[in-house]
Structure 1
Amino acid sequence: MKVAGGGIRFRIMTTALVDPRAETRTGSRTPTPRDYVMCPPEHFAVEYVINPWMDPDRPVDVELALRQWEELKRTYERLGHSVSVVPAQPGLPDMVFAANSGTVIGGRVLGSRFRAEQRAAEAEHFRRWFAGNGYREIVMPSRINEAEGDFAWTGGLLLAGTGFRTDPEAHAEAQEALGVPVVSLRLVDARFYHLDTALFVLSQGEHPQIAYYPEAFSTGSRRVLERLFPDAVVADAADAECLGLNGVSDGRHVVLPLEATGLAAKLRDRGYEPIHVDVSELRKSGGGPKCCTMELHG
């Protein structure tokens, strides 16, 4: 298991000495306002196959996809979060999955470089959006890097997935561009082709908490996650297989696919408030709430 960057030894020691369960299971969860970037599915379609969820022979209802996306956006706004919208572009049916087009931490932007040529042009549209919205520290990667699809920020560590899309070398590139320590994790099940299909961050801070599906990861990566996050919420196969781990949390409210009922029950037990949304049409392309949502981390 590769661990890039400094500070990891301190994190492991801190986790071992302090049990976060004493606070989180008895205290109240506090949401924090978030800044999100989204792109409407105006040109959504399943025209090619780049993951096991996609089937071009299965009909797609673009109007339904738009309604589901609008409801997801309204959900964020009702929770007090801001949502910026990047215009959709013809010929880019997967541009709705904004999480794959940038990683932003502390004002620094690391753009994306897609493995599939069908999505390659998305990266430049998002780069232009960042440049036009005041971002000056923008790095476009030299290695394959599918952004928040494979990067999850805990507030102290950047968890980085590889195995199907993002190159392992992109993890070191992310550390240099963003100036944060990176922990590499290997995915081994093609259904969970991005990290954000198998893991998401529930709460950030000194003792961050995650939810994840262990079977999506290599043996060594599971051990790393167990050491770093002993109080993680562990999902089962049923919730993973409806992309229930493709969730979005503000520290209290957790936006999940409608079908992720078992995971929702576990989250309630930990003091979180699950909020279900229907993303069934977008799931035909292998996407869920997080795929549609890039977060601008301060």
Structure 2
Amino acid sequence: MTAPVDRPLNPTQFDVPAFLLNAPFSYSTEVPNNVWMEEIAEEERRPDMRRAMTQFLALYRYLAAESLVYLLPTPRLNGLQDLVFTANLGIVLDHLPDRNTVVLANFSSPPRVGETEVGRRFFESMGYRVVVPETKFEGEAELKHLHDNVYVGGYGLRSQPETYDWFERSYDMTVVKVAMTDPRLYHLDCLVFPITREQTLVCTEALDPQDLRLLEKHTEVIDVSTRAAYPGLCNSVRLHNIVLNASHIHDLRAGTEEYQAELAKNRELEDIASRLGFEVALINLSEFAKGGAMLSCMVMHLNRHSYRFTLL
């Protein structure tokens, strides 16, 4: 029996924003697999799991109030310490007419290799066509949809440029390839955030000038300072006319260097958002920062419904 014509077959086809999250049942910081984690002593980076779950639920509730939110099941397997960071799991190719294809990650980071099979089982159960590239690739955290069939892809630290050649051959898409060289900005979502179909926030200092010129052919680039990119300005998620970003500023002591850096990041984001007609919502995800991650790392887009509309 076939579904009624007006019934979406999957959340990508649903006419509201849809996201995939994972509750932090397997989350840990046991293996330091990025520079942020390496700089924190093992005892200091161990997460408070009760607080981590509370913070996760705050993010979940905010998104679920205005969107469809799926939860990726956590299997009883050891070593899935980063499964909660679903943005790295893969990317749903929203530009394809059938909107039914997901490309999963081929991870570089050893603790994450087991996540691909978890994602395969989930998406196949939902009826998606699931593909895994032969070369390294770490999901939508590395490949951002700009508009139409145009994407921007980061390579050099976690993903390979050959992966984007494969995407272009296989899925009738253009990928603007940009080299990643700063280990503190080790995924593309650390320095690139498409905020509308026409405009993209970019930490321009972190890009090769030639790569930046190529990107500017496809989108209006709005500059983000490096000092704001490091604490996660570009690690944002758009929901309708709201930009969600992680901030633990209320945990910090006023006047400290960390407080000033966080305050400057928040003000820079608020200034950009207000110019473009957006509001900003800040969510404390400090327990997940111990894993070297920010808000966008925890959210995988199942569609990009919010980008279909232009703010007046």
TM-score of the superposed pair, with normalisation by structure 2: 0.79
Q: Hey, what does 1:28 align to over in structure 2?
A: none
Alignment match, 2:83: 95
Alignment root-mean-square deviation, CA:
1.7
**Equivalence for 1:276:** 282
Alpha-carbon separation, structure 1, partners of 2:120 and 2:156: 25
What is the TM-score of this pair, normalised by structure 1? Answer: 0.83
132, 157, 172: which one aligns with 1:179:
172
Identity fraction in percent: 27
Q: CA deviation at 1:175?
A: 2.4
**Corresponding residue number in structure 1 for 2:215:** 225
Q: How does 1:27-42 map to 2 (within 5 A)?
A: 33-42=16-25
| 2: CA distance, partners of 1:294 / 1:263 | 21
Matched, 1:295 2:301: yes
CA-CA distance at 1:237 after TM superposition: 2.5
Q: Deviations over 1:176-234 (max 9, x none)?
A: 34332211111121100100111111112xxx21112112222222222334333x332
Equivalent residue for 2:238?
A: 249
Structure 1 residue 283, shift from structure 2 partner: 1.2
Count how many residue pairs are aligned between Structure 1 and Structure 2.
Answer: 261
The CA deviation string for residues 91-141 of structure 1, in whole angstroms up to 9 with x for no partner, is 211000001111112221111110012110001101110000111x21111
State the Cα distance separating 1:289 from its structure 2 match: 1.4
When structure 1 is superposed on structure 2, of 100-109 and 219-228 the one drifting more is 219-228
Instruction: In structure 1, give the amino acid aligned to 2:276.
Output: R
For residue 57 of structure 1, report the CA deviation from its aligned partner.
3.9
Cα distance in 1, alignment partners of residues 36 and 170 from structure 2: 32
Aligned to 2:257: none
- Unaligned segments of structure 2, at least 5 residues: 1-14, 94-98, 248-261, 305-312
Contact 1:33 1:250 in 2 (8 A): no
1:268-298 Cα shifts (integer Å, max 9, x gaps): 1221111111111111112111110111137
2:92 equivalent to 1:86 = no
Paired residue secondary structure (1:182):
strand
Match of residue 119, structure 1, among 112, 116, 135? 112
Q: After superposition, where does 1:139-288 map in structure 2 within 5 Å?
A: 139-156=131-148, 157-204=150-197, 208-230=198-220, 232-258=221-247, 259=262, 260-261=265-266, 262-288=268-294
1:75 aligns with 2:62: yes
Aligned residue for 1:203, secondary structure, equals coil
Partner Cα separation in structure 1 for residue 240 and residue 196 of structure 2:
5
What secondary structure, in the 3-state scheme, does the structure 1 residue paired with 2:186 have? coil
Name structure 1 gaps, 5 residues minimum: 1-31
Range with greater deviation from structure 2 (259-268 or 99-108): 259-268
CA distance in 2, matches of 1:47, 1:236: 31
Q: Hey, what's the Cα distance between the residues in 2 that align with 1:67 and 1:285?
A: 16
Residue identity matched to 1:212: V
